[in-house]
Amino acid sequence: MPELAVENISKSFSGNTVLTDVEFTVAEGEFFTLLGPSGCGKSTTLACVAGLEDPDSGTIRVGDNVFFDGRRDTTVPPEGRNLGLVFQSYALWPHMTVADNLAFPLKLRKLPADERDRRVDAALDKVGLLELRDRYPHQLSGGQQQRVALARGIVYSPGVLLLDEPLSNLDAKMRDQARAWLKDLQRDMGITTVYVTHDQVEAMSLSDRIAVFLGGRLEQVGTPAEIYETPATPEVAAFIGRCNLLDGTVHMTADDTTTVRVSLSGTDQSLRVPRTDGLHDGQSVTVGLRAERVRFTDETVVDEDQGSVLKASIVDRAYTGAHYEYRLSVGDLTLLAESPTHRAAADTTVQLRADDCLVYPHG
Ligand SMILES: Nc1ncnc2c1ncn2[C@@H]1O[C@H](COP(=O)(O)OP(=O)(O)OP(=O)(O)O)[C@@H](O)[C@H]1O
């Protein structure tokens, strides 16, 4: 199966720009997720790939098959793209049985009846619902309806499977089960998949690679580990997980070999961050620091190559079951921390490893 290439697509609705130069490729058999907050343009991107919307410019193709080319005014209608589509609302036809729901797209493709039956049963078998083939949608649970919708998405062996928040109608427990099941199905079938979600845990656990969308632009494309460990911008860092963003100024001396000092705005305390080529004395930076990397310590000093300790006060703590979430104040700054341990004292010190600091120079 060839790769899906989306090149420089832009889109506005009534003069309101919702996509700007969006560009990504999805490799054969890859599970690729479009992740971002509500309204950032994920569904519009998927709709452009599906042919339900036309971009204003750019190109979309699968291998040599051009679906859309803004320069040539080429656009292939959705039914000519051979894509499987599954939406959040399962959109099953209520008056048709499960089997008829699946057979319908095959009828549209004019497949003979015996071939239709064979494919319907094979798809239902894949999602583990063969025995429910003669039921109507209202006789199924939400999770079963979602599986039928997925079976309908794969029944005609599409080149690419497009899924728009397919699990978000399920309760939390069912969603966990469905996620594992969906991942297994995708891997077994080796089908190239584009998945839309605003749920970062879902994106991290399902995807080979994630494209992070913010405000109609693609901020970063990478593996879940890349996105989490080395977010390209402070905005991506803030969107994924719980990340502190602290502004400050670099103070560099000739003795600084591995780390440099950053004096933080809002407090008279400083951090040590890795010395990198792009940094110079006096430079304004934003330092990103994940909440779970803020560690309570009883030490008051630490080797400068390792990082820093800050004096902090605990303002608030919440027990989540897996860990405690702390809100700390450091001068006028607020610092979020996560820890499995309970700290009772109001005043504390926290250790921040230089290697855990994500440094974003301004301008
Ligand atoms: N048909 C339309 N007409 C006008 N504006 C639209 C249309 N479709 C989408 N938009 C706007 O485009 C922007 C992006 O919408 P889109 O549905 O792609 O976002 P999303 O990231 O998928 O959000 P959600 O997770 O809430 O579905 C939003 O501001 C939305 O209001």
Say what the pTM is: 0.90
Evaluate whether 262 touches 285 at the Cβ level (below 8 Å): yes
The Å distance, Cα 41 to ligand 1 centre, comes to 6
Evaluate whether 97 touches 173 at the Cβ level (below 8 Å): no
Which domains can be identified in the chain, with CATH numbers? Answer: 4-235 (3.40.50.300), 242-361 (no CATH)
Ligand 1 neighbour 197 (Cβ under 6 A): no
| pLDDT tens, residue by residue, 278-325 | 899 999 999 999 999 999 988 877 787 788 999 999 999 999 988 999
Place of tokens 């798809």: 123
Quote the longest CA-to-CA distance of the chain.
79
Length of the chain: 363
Which of 13, 35, 48, 212 best tests ligand 1's pocket when mutated (most atoms within 8 Å of CB)? 13
Place of tokens 């077994």: 188
Sign of the four-CA dihedral 116, 118, 124, 130: positive
Provide the residue type at 105 as one letter: P
| pLDDT tens, residue by residue, 51-91 | 999 999 999 999 989 999 999 989 999 988 989 888 877 68
What is the rounded distance in angstroms from the CA atom of residue 254 to the CA atom of residue 243?
31
Ligand 1 neighbour 13 (Cβ under 6 A): yes
**Chain centroid, CA 56 distance in Å:** 25
Ligand 1 neighbour 58 (Cβ under 6 A): no
Ligand 1 neighbour 85 (Cβ under 6 A): no
Ligand 1 neighbour 18 (Cβ under 6 A): yes
Which of 11, 14, 44 best tests ligand 1's pocket when mutated (most atoms within 8 Å of CB)? 44
- Which of 4-18, 139-153, 217-231 has the lowest average pLDDT? 139-153
What is the rounded distance in angstroms from the CA atom of residue 249 to the CA atom of residue 60?
44
| pLDDT tens, residue by residue, 338-361 | 999 898 888 999 999 999 999 999
